[in-house]
Amino acid sequence: MTSKKLQTLSHHFRMLWSLLGWRLPLMLILTALGTLIDGVGLALFLPLFGLFQGAPNPQPDKVLDFVTQLMHFLGVPVEMGSILVLIVAVFFLKGAIKFAESAYMGYMKSLVPMQLQSRFIHAFFRAKHSYSVGLDSGSLVHLSGGEISLAVVSLFQGVAAVAMLCSLLAYTGITTVVDYRFTLAAAFAGVLPILVFRLIQTKTKKASRRLSVSRVELQGRATELLQNGKYLKATGNSEKLLPLFEAELAGVGQNIRQVEWLVAWTKGVREPLLVAVAGVMVFVWRIWHPSIEGMVFIFLLLYRALTNLMGFQVAWQGFLSSSGAIDIVLQHIADLETHAAHCGNQAPQSGVPTICFRGVGVNFGDRPALSGIHLDIQPNEFIVLLGPSGAGKSTFVNLLTGLIEPNEGQILFNNMPLRQLDGAKMRQKIGYITQENVIFNATIRQNITLWTSHEVPEALIRDCG
pLDDT in tens, 394-406: 888 888 888 888 8
Residue 60 DSSP symbol: P
- Residue 3, in any domain of the structure: no
What digits encode the pLDDT tens for the residues 29-79?
888 888 878 877 777 776 666 555 554 444 445 555 666 676 677 676 767
pTM of the predicted model over 0.85: no
Check whether residue 316 and residue 383 sit in a common domain. Answer: no
Q: How many domains does the chain have?
A: 2
User: Does residue 344 fall inside a structural domain?
Assistant: no
Q: Is residue 1 part of a domain?
A: no
Domain that holds residue 374: 355-464
C-alpha distances out from residue 303 to 95, 101, 252, Å: 20, 22, 39
The answer on 361 and 281 residing in a single domain is: no
User: For 365-445, where are the E strands, in sequence order?
Assistant: 367-377, 408-413, 416-417
Question: 161 with 298, same domain?
Answer: yes
For residue 33, the domain's CATH number is: 1.20.1560.10
Q: Which phi and psi angles does 371 have, rounded to 5°?
A: -155, 150
First to last CA, the chain: 71
CATH of the domain at 366: 3.40.50.300
Domain end, chosen from 311, 338, 365, is at 338
Distances 42 to 39, 76, 97 between C-alpha atoms, Å: 5, 16, 16
Same domain for 330 and 374, yes or no, is: no
The helix (run of H) or strand (run of E) holding residue 427 is helix 423-427
Taking each helix axis from N to C end, the angle separating 62-74 and 292-338, rounded to the nearest 10 degrees, works out to 70
Q: What is the pLDDT along the chain (465 residues), one digit of tens a residue?
A: 455 555 566 666 676 777 777 887 888 788 888 887 887 777 777 666 655 555 444 444 555 566 667 667 767 676 777 777 777 888 888 888 888 888 888 888 888 888 888 888 888 888 887 777 777 776 777 777 777 777 888 888 888 888 888 888 877 777 777 677 777 777 777 677 777 777 777 787 778 778 878 887 787 778 777 777 666 766 667 777 778 888 888 888 888 888 888 878 877 777 777 677 767 766 766 666 555 666 666 777 777 777 777 778 778 877 877 777 778 888 888 888 888 877 777 777 777 788 899 999 988 878 888 888 898 888 888 888 888 888 888 888 888 888 888 889 988 888 888 888 887 778 777 777 777 777 777 777 777 777 776 666 676 666 665
